[in-house]
Structure 1
Amino acid sequence: MWFRFCFLLLSFSLITNGYAAPKQQVLLLTYHLKAPYVIDWGEQRGLYFDLASYLNHKTDKYQFKTELMPRKRLDLLLAEPFTDVVVGVQPAWFKSLADKMLFTAPFLHDKDVFVSDARKPVRDQDLADLTGKTFIGSQGYRYKGIDEIVASGILERVDTLQEDYVLDMLRLGRGDFTIISASTLSYKFSHGEQARYFYVANTPHDLIQRGFMLSNTDPELHQFLQQVIKQMPADQEWQLLLAKYQIQHSMVKP
């Protein structure tokens, strides 16, 4: 009888210890359909897909998966109770949500740069007066300073479906200049795009600190992401991912 009791107790203990609580499913939402962050949506290639796997290696509690979402749809989603994470963003882009969202420290320090056709360069001094010029933007994107000039009627804006196409538009003569992330430009130049055809102004349009945004109702998830970001600069797995996408080490700061 005693033996049977001990056997049942041991069996119950093994079953209890072997039971794993279901992981919290977390979507990493991005509206940035551009290399190196999203290279091929169908094949799930790009840094943000690898970032989800990287985070999954760091936790037994969460299960991350990257999903693409247009900015307009994301804005609607953010107006409701929000349980996921927006990746690659900074507080300045979501000022109206400051009272309901948490932002992590940045995991990448990027910048947006002005690019024009090398045959008709728009130099730093030319940016002070854009009268009569045409700006090539990306659909759904907001551009600090540029949007205001467009609204005044001084500058015309034409849009592409995604940032990956802005250099093609420049080459075709559809506009005078564009704005593109330095990380995207670097990736394109290392994958066949000819740098000599383009002029990059010295003055950046904006400095970008890419981090995570999530609801302030989940401080535990925020703390987890903060801890991961803190050790990223010294993490070999993360360094290998950056090298895979030709992201310069200078973009990662302790």
Structure 2
Amino acid sequence: MLLKLFVLGVFALLSLSVKSAQIERLSLYTYHNKPPYIESLADKKGLYFDIVNLLNEFQPNLQYKLVFMSKEQIRQRLERDTLAGVVLGVNPQWFGDIEQQRFIWSDPLFYDTDEFVSSIKKPFEYLSQASLHGKKYGGVEGYFYPKLAEAERREKLTRVDAGSEKELLELILQQQLDFAVVSRPTFFYFAKKNGWWTSLSLSHQAHQKYYRAILIPKSNKAQFTPLLNTTNSLGFKKYMKELVSSYHISE
């Protein structure tokens, strides 16, 4: 009897090993280490982790994992065509691919907004390019802000870099900036968590509205075709809409 149980146990382990070996594990990279997209890397908590889990539900023979990497590292690997995976939560404009010729792109996962945030004591309203003249604003180091680029080039607007959008909000609270550009979901996350509602102001006109999608290097097309088929399907989009709504992000 003991021998029989031992043999059955060995077969069960072998079966699990074979099944595990058949599951392909693929990386989805992100450089957005900020809530609610990533609330905790250590605890694997946040919207992007939930998106990866949803993808795994749709594809039992594939297992995706979220990997954080700096934007500069991702750019370098894309230029060298050495990125062993895809990039989650990005837009063609940010990678100089408006015509979508350099890379393969999924359908939009969800829509997002970057806001002009200022102190309630000195609220900033964007009305036109003239609104920017003589102002000092904050941005995340390495990020590009298209509506502000021309004023910067003409030295009508001064930029201060910070390491994160949370740092930008703190600089606004200290009144060290006229305004900062912060993604709307991140603004709401910290405003709610830290009780900053009565201290911060949003311009009626946003900096930019855009969608977030998945960038796939052309050399990885075959490996990630199942991913594209999933993200572009009506079933996945239905669940994505519900997921994004649970984070208070709406179109």
- After TM superposition, the score normalised by the length of structure 2 is 0.82
Judged with a 3 Å threshold, the aligned counterparts in structure 2 of structure 1 residues 169 and 24 are, in CA distance, closer, same or farther, namely same
Structure 1: 5+ residue stretches without partners: 1-14
| Matched-pair contact (CA < 8 Å) for 1:33–1:164 | no
Cα distance in 1 for partners of 2:192, 2:40 equals: 17
Q: What secondary structure, in the 3-state scheme, does the structure 1 residue paired with 2:216 have?
A: strand
TM-align CA RMSD: 2.6
Are 1:38 and 2:38 counterparts?
yes
Bigger CA drift: 183-192 or 82-91? 183-192
| Matched-pair contact (CA < 8 Å) for 1:83–1:215 | no
Cα distance in 2 for partners of 1:115, 1:171 equals: 10
Cα distance in 2 for partners of 1:118, 1:68 equals: 34
Matched-pair identity in %: 25
Which residue number in structure 1 is paired with residue 90 of structure 2?
A: 89
Which residue number in structure 2 is paired with residue 9 of structure 1?
A: none
Which residue number in structure 1 is paired with residue 48 of structure 2?
A: 48
Which residue number in structure 1 is paired with residue 160 of structure 2?
A: 158
Q: What secondary structure, in the 3-state scheme, does the structure 2 residue paired with 1:36 have?
A: coil
Cα distance in 1 for partners of 2:222, 2:38 equals: 28
| Matched-pair contact (CA < 8 Å) for 2:125–2:205 | no
Which residue number in structure 1 is paired with residue 8 of structure 2?
A: none
Cα distance in 2 for partners of 1:41, 1:62 equals: 22
Which residue number in structure 2 is paired with residue 176 of structure 1?
A: 178
Cα distance in 2 for partners of 1:67, 1:220 equals: 17
- After TM superposition, the score normalised by the length of structure 1 is 0.81
Which residue of 235, 240, 244 maps to 1:231? Answer: 235
Which residue of 126, 142, 145 maps to 1:143? Answer: 145
Judged with a 3 Å threshold, the aligned counterparts in structure 2 of structure 1 residues 224 and 74 are, in CA distance, closer, same or farther, namely closer
Structure 2: 5+ residue stretches without partners: 1-13
Which residue number in structure 2 is paired with residue 221 of structure 1?
A: 224
